[in-house]
Structure 1
Amino acid sequence: MEDIHWDDILYDIEEQRAVLLLGHNFLPNAHEQLNAALTEKLGDKLLHFYTRDGLFLFKDSDAKTTAQQVAARFFKNNPPEDAILKKIAEMPFRLMVSTNPDKFLLDAFAQYKLNLQFDYFSSNNKEQEYKIERPSEENPLLYNICGSVEDQESLILDYDDLFKMLKTLLTDLKVPNEIRMPLMKTNTYIFVGFHFERWYTQLFLRYLNMNENQFDNNNRNYVLKTTFQDADMERFFLQQFNIKFIGADWSFFEELHRRFAEKYPAKLRKLINQLSPTAATIDQLVAKSEYDSAFSMLKIFESQFDSDDQQLLTMTQSTYSQYLQDKKEGIVLTEHLNSALARVRKNILELSQKLQ
């Protein structure tokens, strides 16, 4: 493994010449969990799940329409850890590109009272056209290149969706200049959670440097959380795309954050968390997985909730009780357990933010 050129990476981030790219594993095991949810909903109308590519095959158009609805709900209710969202929000990337359709990062920026523009790619007519400006340190941009949960037809679920997306993307017909220009000015790409053995990921890499004849040393592409299992393929990929593998998991990003904070402390975004002391305490309990204590505090202040939120609290407690029972009996798939616990976490945090 090559030495990590920390000064180069940190300098490019400070100079707004670095882009953060979030792959499918930014939401760990998302496709496997989505496969379980679709199987439960569609039964034999879900003909196949292509594990290697994370894509599905549906029996007919009705099945696909249902799948789009299920997938949109799934990606709304299965967030990554709050801690990593906070660290990303603090880092002064002007452009973040995600291959996931969720908007959790957008929600995190809003929670901390930070500006963040949002737009997404769709090979179809979009549900909503966003007016965006050239991203900057003060007004960054999140761009979902594989659609958005708010627009079900934009989601990439099967090979038809993927081919349409690649055809449109590689002809550069629908990618705004506000996205393309920062990519052209980028020296360092930092990848998190990508499957680099997937053929369409390699096409995506080619798109990133489509204005270059080839990947060369002008662009430093740093990769985290890789999935190579074949040594020969890894060597070929390193040579072909000039990728430097410098981390295996999120611990690298945390070190990147730490080093940047030490060298450029004034450049970290200042987060404003306006949660009440009670809400902050509940958030801390959730972070430590102390859900019973979190529910106890919510019950104490239940009178502050309206009837809908009181009903949500009751429903969430019931979901958590069922989760504990299913986990104890061991008869429910791990994917379903993870999904249920994610809903519980999400609902608790939503309710806590409404407390005075």
Structure 2
Amino acid sequence: MTLKSRQWNNLLEALENGSCIVLLGPLISTGLEGVRPLEAQFAKELSKTLEEEEVSFDKAHEENLTYIMQRFMTIDGVTSSDPGYEAKKFYEKYDGQANGIQNLIATLPVNLIINTSPDDAIVQALKQQGKYRTVHDWYNYEGELATDIELPTAESPLVYNLFGYYKDTESLVLTEADQVRFIGKVVKDQPALPPKLLRQFQGKKSFLFLGFNWEHWNLRLLLQSLNLKRDSSIMAHSRNDDALQPKTRDFYESYFRFSFVTDDIEDFVKELHEKYAQHSGHEVAQKKLLLISAPEDEAYCDELYKNLKPLPFESWHRGLTLGGQEPEVEFQKHMANADIILLLVSTDFLASDAITDVDLPNALQRHQGKKAKVVPIITRPCKWDGVKELTQMPLILPKKNREVGKAISTWENQENAYQNIISEIQELL
């Protein structure tokens, strides 16, 4: 079902007056690829270890992390610290990789985000939106008294990792046994959640739950421990393919007065983003990016475009010209509207008369007229520093340590080069 007008209005008003709390489930965190949840990917990766160790498990549940982790604990020689080590090793590969949904959520004026995935992607998304005073904290159910927090605001939001943070391996809730201990500790206040955090749940609030599997039993206990008020407005997303059982739906709707949304989650978050922009009177104009490359650098262009796609920008390059369209007409149209022009520089780029005689001068003219920003991106080693106009650009990418314009092809891990480029472009915008 979709939200009714009254529900949309309540949610938008709550965002505007700072009384909306967002709770993110593990299905939200997918990394840049935005396909499968990191939790499922981690479980699938760990199941390979079970096969190597000849530990039996039900392959129908190979993406169920708590189950796979519980089976992992039966391997000879595995200690209680090993699950945390495995989690840290896995999540480090996706450090700071916010997807399109997380970037859209970060644009909203939310004071408090409860994150139930052990990563920090939503923190990075908030900072990339200019919310540099974002505070990140987490609960450690194995620790002592939890430190209290500063009252969060829209300018200085709090992201609280309820089930721990992967860099603090002791805090992680990974196995079913961990879940039982976690619930027991929270209910008994040993240690207690920060008082100022719990105070955020008092009074009439609106809660938006995104990315949860509502069939998981532990969610019911968790909601009770947070002491959600019955007069609060609670909206929760549930995927159609989750096949939410009638008894589960009835429990949440009758006990907590949930309103379930079954629209595609990305469509729902985009609609929320657009409706809030209209409601607040601040239309969010999407920045336009133009990629210019030589045909020989098509692979680099495609990879950069793929990395840009999850972000709230409109990116375009010549390869996206549709059948029936005039390629040069479309190119000039995008050149005239671009906020940022990305030059994918290589020996072939510099040797192309079409680029150096037409495209490059046009891009530089828009840069000099302060109508667009030009950013050279070095794809392969070349004599780019012999082109005066390129060396005068304030930003040349990728950057590694103090080296500016370190060609993508020379990076040991090229994904790190693209991440560097994306981060710098987001900061520029």
- Which band: TM-score by shorter chain? 0.7 to 0.9
Please, which runs of 5 or more residues in structure 1 have no aligned partner?
318-343
- Deviation at residue 232 of structure 1 after TM alignment: 3.9
C-alpha distance in structure 2 between counterparts of 1:294 and 1:68, whole Å: 40
- Deviation at residue 104 of structure 1 after TM alignment: 1.0
- Deviation at residue 283 of structure 1 after TM alignment: 5.8
Provide closer, same or farther for how the CA distance between residues 255 and 41 of structure 1 changes in structure 2, counting only shifts above 3 A.
same
Please, which runs of 5 or more residues in structure 2 have no aligned partner?
30-35, 294-301, 311-315, 320-342, 347-376, 381-395
C-alpha distance in structure 1 between counterparts of 2:199 and 2:401, whole Å: 47
1:299 has 2:379 as partner: yes
Question: Are the counterparts in 1 of residues 25 and 212 from structure 2 also a CA contact under 8 Å?
Answer: yes
- Which residue of 144, 149, 166 corresponds with 1:132? 149
- Give the aligned partner of residue 350 of structure 1: 420
- Give the aligned partner of residue 3 of structure 1: 4
C-alpha distance in structure 2 between counterparts of 1:271 and 1:149, whole Å: 33
1:178 has 2:258 as partner: no
Partner SS state of residue 196, structure 2: helix
- Give the aligned partner of residue 16 of structure 2: 14
Question: Are the counterparts in 2 of residues 116 and 140 from structure 1 also a CA contact under 8 Å?
Answer: yes
Question: Are the counterparts in 1 of residues 40 and 63 from structure 2 also a CA contact under 8 Å?
Answer: no
C-alpha distance in structure 2 between counterparts of 1:132 and 1:295, whole Å: 47
Higher RCO by CA contacts (8 Å cutoff, separation 6 or greater): 1
Q: Matches of residues 198-347 of structure 1 in structure 2 within 5 Å?
A: 198-209=216-227, 212=229, 216=230, 218-226=231-239, 227-248=242-263, 249-265=265-281, 284=305, 286-288=307-309, 297-300=377-380, 305=400, 313-317=410-414, 344=415, 347=417
Partner SS state of residue 142, structure 1: strand
Question: Are the counterparts in 2 of residues 119 and 130 from structure 1 also a CA contact under 8 Å?
Answer: no
Question: Are the counterparts in 1 of residues 397 and 421 from structure 2 also a CA contact under 8 Å?
Answer: no
Provide closer, same or farther for how the CA distance between residues 46 and 182 of structure 1 changes in structure 2, counting only shifts above 3 A.
farther
- Tell me the alpha carbon deviations over residues 296-331 of structure 1, each in whole angstroms, 9 at most, x when there is no partner: 7443478954599779953334xxxxxxxxxxxxxx
Range that drifts further, 227-236 or 104-113 = 227-236
C-alpha distance in structure 2 between counterparts of 1:53 and 1:81, whole Å: 22
C-alpha distance in structure 2 between counterparts of 1:304 and 1:182, whole Å: 41
- Tell me the alpha carbon deviations over residues 143-195 of structure 1, each in whole angstroms, 9 at most, x when there is no partner: 00000011112111112211121111122332101210111135211000111
Considering only CA atoms, is the larger Rg found in Structure 1 or Structure 2?
2
Question: Are the counterparts in 2 of residues 45 and 63 from structure 1 also a CA contact under 8 Å?
Answer: no
Question: Are the counterparts in 1 of residues 186 and 192 from structure 2 also a CA contact under 8 Å?
Answer: yes
- Which residue of 80, 87, 112 corresponds with 1:95? 112
- Give the aligned partner of residue 160 of structure 2: 143
Partner SS state of residue 137, structure 2: strand
Aligned residues: 316
TM-score normalized by structure 2?
A: 0.63
TM-score normalized by structure 1?
A: 0.74
C-alpha distance in structure 2 between counterparts of 1:235 and 1:261, whole Å: 34
- Deviation at residue 8 of structure 1 after TM alignment: 0.9
C-alpha distance in structure 2 between counterparts of 1:113 and 1:237, whole Å: 36
C-alpha distance in structure 2 between counterparts of 1:311 and 1:255, whole Å: 36
Provide closer, same or farther for how the CA distance between residues 350 and 244 of structure 1 changes in structure 2, counting only shifts above 3 A.
same
Amino acid at match of 1:116: T
Compute the RMSD of aligned alpha carbons. Answer: 4.0
Q: Percent identity?
A: 19
Provide closer, same or farther for how the CA distance between residues 285 and 153 of structure 1 changes in structure 2, counting only shifts above 3 A.
same
- Give the aligned partner of residue 48 of structure 2: 40
Provide closer, same or farther for how the CA distance between residues 285 and 236 of structure 1 changes in structure 2, counting only shifts above 3 A.
closer
